[in-house]
Amino acid sequence: MRYYWELWGRRFDSPIILASGTAGFGLELMEQNNLHGAAAVVSKATTLKPTPGNPPPRIVETKFGLLNSIGLANPGVDEIVKTILPEADSLPIPLIVNVAGETVEEFPAVIEKLERSPVPFGYEVNVSCPNVAAGGMVFGASPSTVEEIARLVNSVTSRPFSVKLTPNEGSITEAAQAAETGGADSVTVCNTFLGMKMNWRTGRAPLKRKVGGYSSPALLPLTVARVYKTCEAVDIPVLASGGVSCPEDVLELLAAGAVMVQVGTWLMRRPDAAGELREGVVRLLESDSQ
Ligand SMILES: Cc1cc2nc3c(=O)[nH]c(=O)nc-3n(C[C@H](O)[C@H](O)[C@H](O)COP(=O)(O)O)c2cc1C
């Protein structure tokens, strides 16, 4: 029996998408032959201007997960369109470009530039980053801002896009409804959870920015709950992101209503994660149907 999953009108033989920030633009994983089993890859964040990201240290391991404060490190959209996307044209799977901005207007500005390239399959609009113009509040905390960003993005592209929501501020279901009203084709639920580690001996936080995004297999139930509630609140598809480390986790998120499931941090531990997860999912579905 063959199994299929669908995203934005296209059929895939895998439900696995590689999450933003953990797979670059997919090129290194392609060289290592690690893209098999993935339906698509989401790029690292793309911003209007080149962004160095946060000062190091920007990753720290904790007992049960990872804290990162990479920031939106990337060479900027012009360089990405000029040098990275032409290379990414050779990827065996579609590329979804993750987009971030410091102001509402930067989102459509970045996407207008990406539109010059034939490579992106679609976009993931990261409203989980801080809105510099509004004093650092996360865009996703305000449903009216999420709706405005989705409308602006919708006005500059006919490619599909997903709005990636934050679990940290505001109501995720209201933000999802706002994205839907603004014309988003899907929502991604969700980004990392705010976390912090303290060195009790020195009284200092090991991350330079002190607070970072926490990811861990232990967060899976938090993602399952948010995916389930978001699916009840909107009619557009929901992509799950957060806490996946085995095939059962993927099936749980699909059972909660997700159309596809992203894997991020686990990929850093198991570069072949997409293939392993896909095979495991198919094996479980086959054994269940006997
Ligand atoms: C090192 C690192 C960098 C990330 N960079 C981005 C990013 O640039 N844009 C974004 O939307 N999410 C980013 N994320 C969040 C992931 O895409 C994903 O949503 C999150 O880690 C939860 O999934 P996981 O538990 O499978 O890692 C990053 C995560 C990690 C660990």
Contact predicate 18/263, CB 8 Å: yes
Give the per-residue pLDDT at 288.
87
Q: Tell me which CATH homologous superfamily contains domain 5-53+72-194+217-288.
A: Aldolase class I (3.20.20.70)
- 129 catalytic? Reply is yes
Domain chopping of the chain, boundaries: 5-53+72-194+217-288
**Mean pLDDT across the chain:** 96
Give the distance (Å) from ligand 1 centre to CA of residue 19: 6
Give the per-residue pLDDT at 137.
78
Give the distance (Å) from ligand 1 centre to CA of residue 191: 6
pLDDT tens profile 201-253: 999 999 999 999 999 999 999 999 999 999 999 999 999 999 999 999 999 99
pLDDT tens profile 69-104: 998 999 999 999 999 999 999 999 999 999 999 999
Give the distance (Å) from ligand 1 centre to CA of residue 192: 6
Give the per-residue pLDDT at 289.
82
pLDDT tens profile 248-262: 999 999 999 999 999
Nearest residue (by CA) to ligand 1, atom 3, is 21
Give the distance (Å) from ligand 1 centre to CA of residue 128: 11
pLDDT tens profile 132-161: 677 777 999 999 999 999 999 999 999 999
DSSP string covering 193-228: EEEE--BTTTTB-SSTTSEEEEE-GGGHHHHHHHHH
Please give the number of the atom of ligand 1 that sits closest to the Cα of 66: 31
* Ligand 1 pocket, mutate which of 17, 18, 20 (most atoms under 8 A from CB): 20
Nearest residue (by CA) to ligand 1, atom 28, is 21
Ligand 1: list residues with CB < 6 Å.
19-22, 44-45, 66, 68, 70, 72, 98, 126, 164, 191-192, 215, 241-244, 263-266
